[in-house]
Amino acid sequence: MSECRYTRARRVDEAVAALAEAKGDAHVIAGGIALGILMNEKLVSPTWLVDISRIEALKGIVRGPDGTLRIGALTTHREVEESPAVAAAQPMLPEMAAEIACGRIKNRGTFGGNLSLADPQGDPPVAVIALRATMRAAGPLGVRDIPATEFFRDLYTTALREGELLQEVLFPPLAPGAGTAYGKFAARRAMDYTSTVAVGVRAVVEPATGCIKDIGLGLGGVGPIPVWARATEAALRGMRPEPAVIDRACDVLVDEIEPLADHLYSADFKRHVATVILRRTLARACARAARGVEARR
């Protein structure tokens, strides 16, 4: 049986110091859900665990005076789902968190742990991409900001460097006229963490013309990493969400994503599903944008 060292960090700098000392041999543990599974399946046998779960500075949800929403890495999915501050600032997030697994996972799993894991099936990555969040990392050289669109690099690989922690996620305020929506396909209503397809849409609609001024599209489950659908965004930006435009965007999306076939579905089926979920989610986001504009009038 291999021995495993365990450090319970109380402050960010303690955790960072431990990671530096471990020189890449340590694993950060937050909610421990993903890590626990990997250890049970013997895919990971850590020799050093750095427990960050007691670091107060990584907890909490704050809305700054400029409207920026900051979510600490240790915030649970449940807290994201139920926080009034989150709902007011970024209504996509509770909608997204509601789609995660079940109560037990939501109570334990952390926002930061989920993002650091970078599971292509994960939901928070889809949202941070669509909402153009900023990932703030703490490391030996201090803090560093990484745009969400550049955070997910490879299968289970993020832009975090050795010895870095994800400290918090910053969401810029939604522009006037923005509507957001989150949509997910899963085989069952019961929790699924396999073969799901998720789409997060942030659409800013110009009230006068009905044109999509700006758009953010994140997708999950359609490739080895959470996907920023840039080309599809480009196909929609500046356009009115009319049938022909959306049809063209769907064609772009089909080419932009490379879903993996698995034991349940073929890659083409997932492509098709992605277009259906995109249509439906985009429709909801645009409708909300319109409603939001009406409400503000």
Binding residues for ligand FAD, per CB under 6 A? 27-35, 37, 52, 73, 100-101, 105, 109-110, 112-114, 116-117, 122-124, 160, 165-166, 191, 193
Nearest-angstrom CA–CA distance, 80 and 64: 17
CB 219 within 8 A of CB 126: yes
Nearest-angstrom CA–CA distance, 105 and 11: 25
Q: Which does 148 bind (CB under 5 to 8 A by kind): other proteins, ligand FAD, none?
A: none
Q: Is 280 helix (H, G, I), strand (E, B) or coil?
A: helix
Which residue stretch of 14-22, 44-52, 138-146, 273-281 sits at the interface with other proteins (rule: CB under 8 A)? 273-281
Q: Which does 234 bind (CB under 5 to 8 A by kind): other proteins, ligand FAD, none?
A: none
Output the smallest distance, CB 214 to other proteins, in A.
Answer: 18
**Binding to other proteins by residue 243, rule CB under 8 A?**
yes
**Binding to other proteins by residue 282, rule CB under 8 A?**
yes
**Binding to other proteins by residue 209, rule CB under 8 A?**
no
Q: Please report, for residues 18, 35, 117, the alpha-carbon distance to residue 230 in angstroms, rounded to integers and kept in the order given.
A: 38, 31, 23
**Binding to other proteins by residue 182, rule CB under 8 A?**
no
124 vs 259 by CB, closer to ligand FAD: 124
13 vs 268 by CB, closer to other proteins: 268
17 vs 254 by CB, closer to other proteins: 254
b/e code 128-160 from CB counts within 10 Å (16+ = b): bbbbbbbbbbbbeeeeeebebbebbeeeeebbb
Output the smallest distance, CB 277 to other proteins, in A.
Answer: 8
Among 273, 288, 289, 292, indicate the residue that binds other proteins (CB under 8 A). Answer: 273
Output the smallest distance, CB 21 to other proteins, in A.
Answer: 29
End-to-end CA distance of the chain: 66
Looking at residue 154, its amino acid is D
Eight-class DSSP state of 150: G
Output the smallest distance, CB 290 to ligand FAD, in A.
Answer: 29
Which residue stretch of 68-76, 158-166, 226-234, 257-265 sits at the interface with other proteins (rule: CB under 8 A)? 257-265
Q: Please report, for residues 12, 52, 215, 228, 272, the alpha-carbon distance to residue 191 in angstroms, rounded to integers and kept in the order given.
A: 33, 27, 29, 24, 22
**Binding to other proteins by residue 185, rule CB under 8 A?**
yes
Pairing outcome for strands 152-154 and 157-158? antiparallel
Output the smallest distance, CB 119 to ligand FAD, in A.
Answer: 6
**Binding to other proteins by residue 263, rule CB under 8 A?**
yes
CB 17 within 8 A of CB 130: no
Sort 191 into a burial class: Cβ within 10 Å, 0-12 / 13-18 / 19+.
middle
Q: Which residues contact 79 (CB under 8 A, 6 or more apart)?
A: 61
217 vs 246 by CB, closer to ligand FAD: 217
How many other C-beta atoms lie within 10 A of the C-beta of residue 297?
Answer: 6
Q: Which spans of this chain sit near other proteins (rule: CB under 8 A)?
A: 1, 185, 187-194, 241-244, 246-248, 250-251, 254, 263-266, 268-269, 271-273, 275-276, 279-280, 282-283, 286
